[in-house]
C-alpha cells in the first residue's frame, strides 16, 4: 500500500526517485525499496514524506483511499477536519445550524479574512 501511494504521488509531482530522495534526504535506493514494498519508512520519515506531499500518513499507509469522483480540494478539506480539532468543532457546529445562520457565519468569517 505505502509503496503504491508513494509512487503515485512521486509521479503526480513529476519527480524521479533520485529527485524525491534528495528532497527527503534518503538514498535513491531507499525510494526504490519503498515503492517495491521491500522496506517501510520509520514514523519520522513517514511524517516527513506526508508533509512533503501534503497528504496524511493515513493516506500513505492506505487507510484512506482516494475516490476519483472527488477533487483534491475535497481531500484537503477532509484532512484538515480530521487533523485539526478546531476545524472539527467548526464543522460540527456548522452542520447543526440552519441555512440562514450558516450564511451569516460565512459572511462573518469572510469579513474576518478581509481584515
CATH code of residue 48:
1.10.260.40
- Domain contains 67: no
pTM score over 0.75: no
Q: Are 82 and 56 in contact (CB under 8 A)?
A: yes
Question: Are 53 and 82 members of one domain?
Answer: no
CA 109 to chain centre: 24
* pLDDT of the residue at 59: 84
- Number of domains composing the chain: 2
Q: How far apart, in whole angstroms, are the C-alpha atoms of residue 91 and residue 115?
A: 23
Question: Are 11 and 56 members of one domain?
Answer: yes
Question: Are 101 and 56 members of one domain?
Answer: no
Q: Which residue has the cell 476519483?
A: 68
Mean pLDDT within 105-109? 94
Q: Report in angstroms the alpha-carbon separations of 61 from 34, 41, 57, 100, 115.
A: 12, 11, 6, 40, 40
Mean pLDDT within 41-69? 83
Q: What percent of the chain has pLDDT over 90?
A: 62
- Give the range of the structural domain holding residue 92, as residue numbers without chain letter: 72-113
* pLDDT of the residue at 56: 84
Q: Are 58 and 83 in contact (CB under 8 A)?
A: no
* pLDDT of the residue at 22: 96
Mean pLDDT is lowest, of 31-35, 43-47, 62-66, 82-86, for 62-66
Q: How far apart, in whole angstroms, are the C-alpha atoms of residue 88 and residue 54?
A: 19
- Domain contains 103: yes
- Domain contains 66: no
Higher-pLDDT residue of 64 and 19 is 19
Q: Residue 35: pLDDT above 90? A: yes
Question: Are 6 and 51 members of one domain?
Answer: yes
* pLDDT of the residue at 48: 94
Amino acid at each position: 500500500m505505502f509503496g503504491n501511494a508513494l509512487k503515485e504521488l512521486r509521479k503526480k509531482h513529476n519527480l524521479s526517485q533520485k529527485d524525491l530522495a534528495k528532497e527527503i534526504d534518503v538514498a535513491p535506493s531507499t525510494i526504490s525499496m519503498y515503492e517495491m514494498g521491500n522496506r517501510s519508512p520509520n514514523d519520522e520519515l513517514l511524517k516527513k514524506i506526508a508533509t512533503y506531499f501534503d497528504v496524511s500518513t493515513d493516506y500513505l499507509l492506505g487507510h484512506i483511499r482516494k475516490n476519483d469522483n472527488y477533487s483534491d480540494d475535497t481531500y484537503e478539506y477532509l484532512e484538515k477536519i480530521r487533523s485539526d480539532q478546531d476545524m472539527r468543532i467548526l464543522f460540527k457546529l456548522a452542520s447543526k445550524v440552519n441555512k440562514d445562520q450558516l450564511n451569516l457565519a460565512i459572511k462573518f468569517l469572510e469579513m474576518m479574512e478581509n481584515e
